[in-house]
């Protein structure tokens, strides 16, 4: 939990200010019953009007100071709790950015959203509650007990009996609701996951007329969430009338036994009133602490979930080496990779090299492991066995930043960010000039953009699949890199556009290019083509070497022959 508490460290001063304000507030609140008692026993008994006025004024002053102190407590506690949530969100976010595919598979993306929003909000509100009630309650409780005892009555046992009653009630409620707090957060994850899936899949849902099915699916989870919430809150709310009943019974007991003592002359009427007020304050503080214990499990659940993100061990760790030569060679040596949740290896015993000024291509059927190979190069995941070398040394030994700066990676799914064309292009090279951007756009055949300020919606949803691919190719080639990895990112382009872009890629002279594709036209002129089947390289060579000699390659060529002819 150390990491969860860390953001509070620079707020110690403010926490101390909260504590000071609380002490002032409690001191003022504790004086009020005594003043009331004095008004009754001295002012009213002796018909001393001036005493009543003076004491009343003192009471007003105390109430005013207490109110100011409350404002101070609220001000600082909201500052500390919001600041804590802000800092924690920042820490969680920067940790998540370091996650590899492995960690993202372990804690799902939807759960990460819930953890960095809902769970941190829970921690924020509980923290505010700690300052405003949990620090306040023991001060008020202990102060009231001392004051009640100072009155010298023999009614203190009534407070003790009430205390036992409160504890029994609280234990019953805690035992009943405790297991459900974890369930609530898990259903919250489920709601998040389902809504995300439905929102992303709206076009498919409509096209397949699946609205009713999806509505039903969402309704079920929503109902489940509602039922658990109702159960928890019903149990918590039933406590309120029971506690009020208990408090009223306590007052009845004080009045009943106090009246006897008053008749015997061993207690003054004002002291009974003060005793009732102090006892009420004691019970109220028990209740506040009790309410906290009911919410505590919720805090623990949220705290554990956020802590899990913060303490997740990163499978991809930074190396030490910084110097990588100009245009080095990357070599795969007997590399295999198994996804954590799958039983067998996705790629097996892969060996090949990416050399400067050479184009390597990978072709193979759907799910044969092409993207998995590419993801290993910028270390989005590390091999399960074998090694990848750069300059003859394992890539794990190099600083991630240095390694990734050498590589331009265009993923299979064109991902654009909300903003404009320029901001998206700057992701590829953060100091690119407008001229460089325009040149890259021209190389990638982006002829549909009117100006660099043109808006890009979230995920690039205002562009077609092929347009998004062209924009992400432009972003990939804007900067100078030693390796350009293109993961099937020509698939939505027409043959002519693809040919024009590939011609322009020849300008990336000294660099090494790796193209993954299922289309022969994309890879036909590569220096080396690797044919992948079922995670293994089954053949390699140039197009002319493979045609006729490699059965699978020839089969792919034959199925695509028509378009090939059109191209030649
Ligand atoms: N995150 C993952 N967890 C578990 N298995 C995965 C994961 N990603 C991919 N796989 C599995 O690994 C295999 C290879 O996937 P990969 O994406 O590398 O194939 P591919 O050749 O690029 O396919 P495609 O041409 O369809 O893009 C697939 O069978 C897939 O089910």
pLDDT of residue 436: 93
Whole-number pLDDT of residue 236: 79
CA dist., res. 145 & res. 22, Å (int): 17
Q: Is the CB of 372 under 6 A from ligand 1?
A: yes
* 367 CA → ligand 1 middle, Å: 5
pLDDT in tens, 342-391: 889 999 999 999 999 999 999 998 889 999 999 999 999 999 999 999 98
Mean pLDDT over residues 124-130, rounded?
A: 89
Is a pLDDT exceeding 70 seen at residue 313? yes
Taking alpha carbons only, the member of 374, 428, 381 closest to residue 400 is 381
Sign of torsion over alpha carbons 295, 300, 305, 309: positive
- Please say if the pLDDT value at position 469 is more than 80: yes
Query: What distance in angstroms lies between residue 550's CA and the mean position of ligand 1's atoms?
Result: 23
Q: What is the CATH number of domain 2-311?
A: 1.20.1560.10
**Closest Cα to atom 13, ligand 1: which residue?**
367
What pLDDT does 565 receive? 59
Query: Which residues make Cβ contacts (< 8 Å) with residue 64, sequence separation at least 6?
Result: none
Residue 306, CA distances (Å) to 1, 122, 228, 259, 312 in order: 10, 11, 22, 55, 10
Does ligand 1 come within 6 angstroms of the Cβ of 340?
no
- The CA distances from residue 199 to 116, 203, 391, 455, in Å, are 20, 9, 46, 22
Residue 440: pLDDT over 90: yes
Tens digit of each residue's pLDDT (9 = 90 or more) over 182-213 = 788 788 888 888 888 888 888 788 888 888 88
CA of 337 to the centre of ligand 1 (A): 11
Q: Is CATH 3.40.50.300 what the domain over 330-406+481-567 is classified as, yes or no?
A: yes
Q: How confident is the model at residue 562 (pLDDT cuts 50, 70, 90)?
A: low
Mean pLDDT, residues 276-287 taken together: 88
- Which atom of ligand 1 is the closest one to the Cα of 368? 21
CB 137 within 8 A of CB 375: no
Three state DSSP letters for 518-549: CCHHHHCCCCEEEEEECCEEEEEECHHHHCCC
Kind of pairing, strands 536-541 and 359-364? unpaired
Indicate the range of 29-38, 490-499, 525-534 predicted with least confidence.
490-499
Ligand 1 site, residue 270, Cβ cutoff 6 A = no
535 CB near ligand 1 (under 6 Å):
no
In the reported structure, the alpha carbon of residue 42 is separated from the centroid of ligand 1 by a whole-number distance in angstroms of 86
| C-alpha pair distances (Å), 270 with each of 38, 39, 427 | 7, 8, 75
Res 342: pLDDT = 83
Answer for the pair 337, 343: CB distance below 8 angstroms, yes or no. Answer: no
Q: What is the mean pLDDT of residues 150-169?
A: 86
Angle separating helix axes 120-129 and 269-311, nearest 10 degrees: 150
Which residue owns the Cα nearest ligand 1 atom 3?
A: 339
User: Hey, where are the domains in the chain?
Assistant: 2-311, 330-406+481-567
563, pLDDT greater than 70: no
């Amino acid at each position: 939990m150390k990491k969860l508490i860390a953001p509070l460290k620079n707020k110690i001063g403010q926490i101390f200010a909260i504590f000071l304000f609380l002490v002032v507030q409690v001191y003022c609140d504790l004086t009020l019953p005594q003043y009331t008692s004095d008004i009754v026993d001295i002012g009213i008994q002796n018909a001393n009007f001036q005493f009543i006025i003076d004491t009343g004024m003192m009471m007003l002053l105390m109430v005013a100071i207490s109110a100011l102190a409350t404002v101070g407590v609220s001000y600082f506690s909201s500052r500390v709790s919001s600041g804590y949530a802000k800092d924690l969100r920042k820490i969680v976010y920067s940790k998540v950015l370091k996650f590899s595919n492995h960690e993202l598979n372990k804690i799902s993306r939807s759960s990460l959203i819930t953890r960095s929003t809902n769970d941190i909000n829970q921690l924020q509100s509980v923290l505010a509650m700690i300052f405003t009630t949990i620090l306040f309650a023991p001060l008020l409780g202990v102060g009231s007990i001392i004051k009640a005892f100072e009155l010298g009555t023999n009614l203190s046992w009534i407070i003790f009996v009430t205390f036992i009653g409160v504890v029994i009630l609280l234990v019953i409620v805690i035992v009943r609701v405790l297991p459900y707090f974890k369930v609530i957060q898990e259903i919250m994850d489920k709601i998040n996951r389902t809504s995300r899936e439905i929102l992303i899949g709206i076009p498919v849902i409509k096209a397949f007329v699946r609205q009713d099915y999806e509505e039903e699916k969402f309704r079920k989870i929503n109902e489940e969430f509602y039922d658990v919430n109702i159960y928890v809150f019903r149990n918590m709310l039933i406590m309120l009338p029971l506690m009020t009943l208990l408090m009223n019974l306590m007052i009845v007991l004080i009045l009943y036994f106090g009246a006897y003592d008053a008749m015997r002359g061993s207690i003054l009427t004002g002291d009974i009133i003060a005793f009732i007020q102090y006892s009420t304050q004691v019970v109220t503080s028990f209740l506040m602490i009790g309410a906290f214990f009911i919410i505590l499990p919720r805090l623990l659940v949220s705290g554990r979930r956020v802590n899990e993100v913060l303490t997740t061990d990163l499978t991809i760790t930074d190396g030490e080496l910084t110097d990588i030569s100009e245009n080095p060679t990357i070599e795969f040596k007997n590399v295999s990779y198994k996804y954590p949740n799958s039983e067998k290896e996705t790629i097996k015993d892969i060996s090949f090299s990416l050399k400067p000024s050479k184009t390597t291509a990978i072709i193979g059927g759907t799910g044969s492991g092409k993207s998995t190979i590419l993801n290993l190069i910028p270390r989005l995941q590390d091999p399960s066995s074998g090694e990848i070398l750069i300059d003859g040394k394992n890539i794990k030994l190099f600083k991630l930043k240095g390694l990734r700066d050498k590589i331009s990676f265009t993923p299979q799914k064109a991902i654009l960010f909300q903003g404009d064309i320029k901001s998206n292009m700057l992701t590829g090279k953060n100091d690119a000039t407008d001229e460089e951007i325009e040149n890259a756009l021209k190389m990638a055949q982006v002829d549909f953009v009117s100006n660099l300020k043109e808006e890009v919606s979230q995920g690039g949803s205002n562009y077609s699949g092929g347009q998004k691919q062209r924009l992400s190719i432009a972003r990939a080639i804007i900067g100078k890199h030693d390796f350009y990895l293109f993961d099937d990112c020509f698939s939505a382009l027409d043959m002519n556009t693809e040919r024009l872009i590939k011609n322009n890629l020849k300008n990336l002279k000294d660099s090494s290019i790796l193209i993954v594709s299922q289309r022969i036209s994309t890879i036909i002129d590569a220096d080396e083509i690797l044919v992948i089947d079922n995670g293994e390289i089954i053949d390699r060579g140039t197009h002319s070497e493979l045609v006729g000699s490699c059965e699978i390659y020839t089969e792919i060529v034959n199925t695509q022959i028509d378009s090939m002819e059109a191209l030649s």
